[in-house]
Chains A and B, each alone.
Chain A
Amino acid sequence: MKNTIRIERAIKNITQGELAELIGVSRQTINTIESNRYVPSTVLALKIARVFSKPVEEIFILDDED
């Protein structure tokens, strides 16, 4: 699964730490999600999408391997 969090963060101009604080997780978790080392739960994915005011499919995209 790929994601566009890094791009969305750049558009909204917020850091990993600020995003982490907005959704109540650690900065490490945002970092691992961004670098595709951790797949978030549906709840967390929806929370991230809500921060960027976009549907979840625009932020998380299925990969060929999925």
Chain B
Amino acid sequence: MKTRFLFPLGARYIGIILLVAGLLFNFYSRGQGNREIFVWQHFHAAGQSTLRGDGSECFDDEIQLSLVLIGLIFIASSKEKIEDEHISSLRLESLQWAMYVNYAVFFILIYTCYGLSFLAYSFYNVLTLLVFFIVRFRWKIYSLNRSLKADAA
């Protein structure tokens, strides 16, 4: 079966490495003390008002978000070992399910979460669609393999 818009199987493993790297980097940055690594001195961004007083800009958070995002996209959009129409239908179904769950959570938060915490979740909401999709799709593949083993037994 011809598939479009999917990365090869190996992309999943690259994705896992990027995701873990991004999360570890983020975990490191949250620690005590000055833990900035990628700092651009004399950074002059046009129209930016959030630059620090000394004109430098720390790119750690940009790099972390990029690693996590690319990692999640690679994991979510890599081919299975045998990519057939059943897998495709599971993929689409999982994506739809993830969309509903993602916005259901967001909808609940509109009424239960205010101020900065709402803003913080809105930021994570960019990534949760992919996370929900990956969890649901992997679970479906896992159940499929388990049912096959149960039938064989």
Q: A25: which B residues are within 8 A, CB to CB?
A: 1, 82, 84-86
CB < 8 Å A-B pair total:
39
Measured CA separation A32–B84 after assembly (Å): 13
The residues of B with any CB-CB pair to A shorter than 8 Å are 1, 80-82, 84-87, 89, 144-145, 147-148, 151
Write out the residue numbers on chain A whose beta carbons fall within 8 Å of the beta carbon of B151: 31, 35
Q: Is the interface of B mostly helix, strand, loop or mixed?
A: helix
Would you give the shortest CB distance from B78 to chain A, in whole angstroms? 16
Taking the nearest CB of chain A, how far is it from the CB of B126, in angstroms? 33
| Other-chain residue from A24, A32, A35 in contact with B86 (beta carbon distance below 8 A) | A32
Instruction: Say how far B142's CB is from chain A's closest CB, in angstroms.
Output: 11
**Chain A residues near B (Cβ < 8 Å):** 20, 24-29, 31-32, 35, 38, 40-41, 44
CB–CB B145/A28 < 8 A? yes
Contacting pair B85 A44 (CB below 8 A): yes
Cross-chain contact A24 with B144 (CB below 8 angstroms): no
In the complex formed, the residue of A with least CB distance to B86 is: A29
List chain B residues, Cβ under 8 A from A26: 80-82, 84, 86-87
How many Å from the CB of B1 to the closest CB on chain A? 7
Question: Measured between C-beta atoms, what is the minimum distance from B5 to chain A in Å?
Answer: 19
| Interchain nearest-CB distance for A5 vs B (Å) | 13
**Minimal Cβ-Cβ distance residue in A for B90:** A38
Cβ-closest chain A residue relative to B150: A31
A24-B87 in contact (CB<8A): no
| Cβ of A48 to closest chain B Cβ, rounded Å | 12
In the bound assembly, the distance between CA atoms of A24 and B89 in angstroms comes to: 16
Interface centre among B82, B84, B89, B148 (most CB of A within 10 A): B84
B79 to chain A, nearest CB (A): 12
Q: Are B85 and A41 neighbours in the complex by a CB distance under 8 Å?
A: yes
Q: How far is the CA of A44 from the CA of B82 in the complex (A)?
A: 15
Is there an interface contact between A38 and B86, defined as CB atoms closer than 8 Å? yes
Which residues of chain A have C-beta atoms less than 8 A from B81's C-beta?
A: 26
